[in-house]
């Protein structure tokens, strides 16, 4: 079997602004941390906001030809309708630097965080949020669109929607199915406006979202109840949001982390190997979900996130190799997979769990902010440079 990847395959790495930039005190998550809702406060995080040039050197060293990063809405729109030219200019510099290095940019417009003013005055559940959110998206396209190779308008919308509106764990901390449904619909509508606008201004730029698509399987595949549970989970979690916008997506952005083997009383995973946060390491699942996605949507696919918390770098190299092998198997069976973005470049602020889970190819010393590539960094580097596994 030819084990090279298609020419032009994107080898990348994924990050998000709030988790690495630091100092995002205008953001609703900052306020959330102040209220004591998270393990740690993000503070200066990795200080990417000031150290990005050096971090881009790490990208060059790794040899990636693409980088996924996100923009912080609360830095761009300081107050309602008042945009920061200075910060937009800074994002231009960041993106331009990637271009100069021949690194393609996959830019997430919204990786869960909103400005405090937005959350306080509107929130996604209010109708007016559609207009406000869409205006932010359009502003990005006007100001930065020429430097964006792939637009990721939303990151995993089901996470902030369910955690923020059903479980009360993310801002705005609500538990209300009615407001959940409103927020869901508003986000769908805002997405569609931004999509149309982007297509008008930059018809060539692929536009879409990422979905946290889990591999659900029945604990017993002959048990109709188990199968029903799996069917419901797929409908509610994997397919609900994407299903509403699939006609307005140029690609499928897959974030793969989870395998759930489901029975009547919950998860029945074997958990032979687990990461530091207890998530099962199950590489075969990426193959299964890629097959499902191909069959269901028949779109070009980018694996936009895949990674693990592994402070001692015990499993990461094998994790990367195994997932890429299974991805290659899906390509061999006709899935149109255009890129793989590992999560993440460096250890970062892992939302509710703070700094403890370490997802980085590069280790961060949070006292000195020193960066140190882990061994698996070189494993990934080798795969990229040879374009094969
Ligand atoms: C999110 C990231 C997060 C990662 C690991 C993904 O669902 O997009 O922000 O750090 O999972 O938990």
Share of the chain above pLDDT 70, in %: 99
The whole-angstrom separation of Cα 44 and Cα 23 is 5
How many A from CA of 70 to the centre of ligand 1?
13
The verdict on the CB of residue 55 being under 6 Å from ligand 1 is no
Share of the chain above pLDDT 90, in %: 98
Report the candidate in 60, 81, 84 with the shortest Cα–Cα distance to residue 71.
84
The whole-angstrom separation of Cα 382 and Cα 389 is 9
User: Residue 57: its pLDDT value, please?
Assistant: 98
How many A from CA of 160 to the centre of ligand 1?
11
In this model, does residue 223 exceed pLDDT 90? yes
Phi first, then psi: give them for residue 63, nearest 5 degrees.
Answer: 90, 15
The verdict on the CB of residue 255 being under 6 Å from ligand 1 is yes
Phi first, then psi: give them for residue 338, nearest 5 degrees.
Answer: -105, -10
pTM above 0.95, yes or no: yes
Q: How many Cβ atoms sit within 10 Å of the Cβ of residue 224?
A: 9
Q: Where are the beta strands (DSSP E) in 10-100?
A: 10-14, 66-70, 77-79, 82-83
Q: Which helix (H) or strand (E) holds 252?
A: strand 252-255
**Number of Cα atoms under 13 Å in the Cβ half of residue 352:** 11
Mark out the alpha helices in 265-366 (DSSP H runs).
Answer: 284-297, 316-332
The whole-angstrom separation of Cα 92 and Cα 73 is 14
User: Residue 2: its pLDDT value, please?
Assistant: 62
User: Residue 3: its pLDDT value, please?
Assistant: 77
pLDDT (mean) for 131-136: 98
The verdict on the CB of residue 108 being under 6 Å from ligand 1 is no
The whole-angstrom separation of Cα 312 and Cα 100 is 34
The verdict on the CB of residue 14 being under 6 Å from ligand 1 is no
The whole-angstrom separation of Cα 119 and Cα 378 is 41
* Sign of the dihedral through C-alpha 331, 335, 337, 343: negative
pLDDT tens digits, 311-362 = 999 999 999 999 999 999 999 999 999 999 999 999 999 999 999 999 999 9
């Amino acid at each position: 079997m030819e084990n090279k990847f298609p020419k032009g395959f994107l080898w990348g790495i994924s990050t998000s602004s709030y988790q690495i930039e630091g100092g995002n005190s205008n953001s609703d998550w900052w306020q959330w941390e102040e209220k004591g809702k998270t393990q740690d406060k993000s503070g200066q995080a990795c200080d990417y906001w000031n150290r990005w040039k050096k971090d881009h050197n790490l990208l060059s060293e790794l040899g990636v030809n693409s980088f996924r990063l996100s923009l912080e809405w609360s830095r761009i729109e300081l107050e309602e309708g008042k945009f920061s030219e200075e910060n937009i200019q800074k994002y231009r510099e960041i993106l331009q630097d990637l271009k100069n290095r021949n690194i393609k940019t996959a830019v997430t417009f919204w990786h869960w965080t909103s400005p405090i003013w937005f959350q306080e005055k509107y929130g996604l559940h209010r109708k007016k949020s559609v207009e406000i959110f869409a205006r932010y998206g359009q502003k990005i396209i006007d100001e930065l669109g020429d430097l964006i190779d792939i637009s990721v308008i939303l990151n995993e919308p089901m996470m902030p929607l369910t955690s923020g509106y059903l479980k009360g764990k993310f801002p705005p901390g609500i538990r209300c199915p009615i407001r959940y449904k409103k927020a869901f619909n508003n986000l769908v509508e805002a997405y569609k406006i931004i999509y149309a606008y982007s297509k008008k201004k930059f018809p060539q730029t692929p536009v879409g979202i990422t979905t946290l698509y889990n591999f659900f399987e029945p604990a017993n595949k002959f048990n109709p109840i188990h199968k029903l549970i799996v069917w419901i989970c797929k409908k509610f979690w994997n397919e609900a949001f994407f299903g509403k916008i699939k006609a307005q997506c140029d690609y499928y952005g897959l974030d793969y982390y989870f395998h759930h083997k489901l029975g009547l009383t919950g998860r029945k995973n074997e958990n032979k190997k687990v990461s530091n946060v207890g998530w099962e390491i199950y590489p075969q699942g990426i193959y299964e979900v890629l097959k499902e996605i191909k069959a269901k949507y028949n779109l070009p696919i980018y694996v936009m996130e895949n990674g693990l918390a592994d402070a001692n770098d015990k499993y990461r190299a094998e994790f990367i190799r195994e997932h890429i092998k299974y991805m290659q198997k899906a390509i061999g069976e006709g899935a149109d997979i255009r890129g793989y973005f590992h999560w993440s470049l460096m250890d970062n602020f892992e939302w509710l769990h703070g700094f403890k889970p370490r997802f980085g190819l590069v280790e961060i010393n949070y006292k000195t902010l020193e960066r140190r590539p882990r061994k698996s960094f070189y494993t990934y580097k080798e795969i990229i440079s040879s374009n094969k596994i």
